[in-house]
Chains A and B, each alone.
Chain A
Amino acid sequence: MASTHTEADLLSIAGRELRSRLLLGTGGFPSLELLAAAIAASGTELVTVALRRVDPGARGSLIDTIDAAGVELLPNTAGCFTARDAVLTAKLAREAFQTDWVKLEVIGDEDTLLPDAPELLKAAEQLVDDGFVVLPYTTDDPVLARRLADIGCAAVMPLGAPIGSGMGIRNPYNIALIREAVSVPVVLDAGIGTASDATLAMELGCDAVMVASAVSRAQDPVAMAAAMRAAVQAGLLARGAGRIARKTYATPSTPMAGIAELS
């Protein structure tokens, strides 16, 4: 953990220092205006975008919105089901956005959108070899996370629960194990439903949290963006503070010594 935190408590990924520990997906916002307001409220410095066919009828430019917000863009490979497609998409994103960074997604199942582990490893290896800064969306498997880190990924992004499910962190023990298993930053990705989920991720030792649907599809996305910002800060502080041990029975917080005899 300490190795991924700088002295000023910045998050460092592949040499880039980030003050915010929240990554925001741009998917699902009903308008670019709402996206811009949510970016501002979240305090994020890194937002994900997808690569899709140009839509001549599209109103407004997502890139312009992101530029105006003064944040960095992180292309993803959402929708790719094979290593080959994901690698090609990453290369196209590099051409489009002049960034070597990629949030690597290789999906193995249409209903759960869970990652395809063998294809993910294959794609990650090829992209690392090609000079990309690879941030793979992965399952909550500590062994797979370690393999991804070992081949040179700049961070690992384990899921808390399926994308867009809002189910929170289904296996907190594995998330904590992943934190122990790798020295690169751990970014909890997918499954966050509300602010307390993001806090838990940070308490478990994650270095950052990525949210998309939890904010964009909330009834008030801007308010939820602000909530996520506070939640991540709270979790980081609590993690640093060191929580008390869990016990079955009570421990009085008030001493018994000096108590009056009243009967």
Chain B
Amino acid sequence: MIVLNGEPREHGAGVAVVELLRGLGLPEQGRGVAVAIDGEVVPRASWGTHAIPDGARVEVLTAMQGG
């Protein structure tokens, strides 16, 4: 189980970040996308290898309109 953007999800633990993004329909090279796991930035370079731990709080962020 993981918590993705505040919502609990059964699946996602153990998979690489890039797999999760693919599942969300986000471009893998994802310009404009950033990922944090448990309050730490996951650098783009390690998206392919960084496995999401069980119980992780995952934040997937992108550009939104703002002042």
Contacts and interface: CB of A to CB of B under 8 A. Distances in A.
Nearest to A212: B67
A96 B66 contact: no
11 contacts: A27-B65, A27-B66, A49-B64, A49-B66, A52-B61, A54-B24, A54-B62, A55-B64, A91-B41, A97-B63, A163-B67
Nearest to B43: A95
Nearest to A105: B67
A50 B66 contact: yes
Interface string A24-57: 0111110000010000000000001111111110
- Please report whether the interface of chain A is mostly helix, strand, loop or mixed according to DSSP: mixed
B28 to A, nearest CB: 14
Interface of A: 25-29, 35, 48-56, 61-63, 66, 73, 75-76, 78, 88, 91-93, 95-98, 163-164, 190, 210, 212-213
A95 B32 CA distance: 8
Contacts of B44: 95
Given A92-B36, A96-B33, A49 B5 contact: no
B67 A28 contact: yes
**For chain B, which range describes its interface: under 10, 10 to 19, 20 to 34, or 35 or more residues?**
20 to 34
A53 B6 contact: yes
Q: From B5, B25, B63, name the one whose CB has the most chain A CB atoms within 10 angstroms.
A: B63
B66 A76 contact: yes
B59 interface: yes
A93 B65 contact: no
Contacts of B26: 54
Contacts of B25: 56
Interface string B1-18: 000011000000000000
Given A54-B61, A88-B36, A97 B66 contact: no
Instruction: With a 10 A CB-CB cut-off, give which of A29, A66, A91, A190 has the most chain B CB atoms.
Output: A91
- Residue from B5, B39, B41 with most neighbouring chain A CB atoms (10 Å): B41
Interface in B24-47: 24-26, 31-36, 39, 41, 43-44
B63 A92 contact: no
B20 to A, nearest CB: 11
A118 to B, nearest CB: 21
Nearest to A163: B67
A21 B59 CA distance: 35
Contacts of A35: 65
A93 B31 contact: no
B36 A78 contact: no
Contacts of A92: 34-36, 41, 61
B46 to A, nearest CB: 11
A174 to B, nearest CB: 21
A96 B63 contact: yes
Contacts of A97: 31-32, 63
B66 A48 contact: yes
A49 B67 CA distance: 7
B63 A51 contact: yes
Contacts of B66: 25-27, 48-50, 52, 76, 78
A93 B64 contact: no
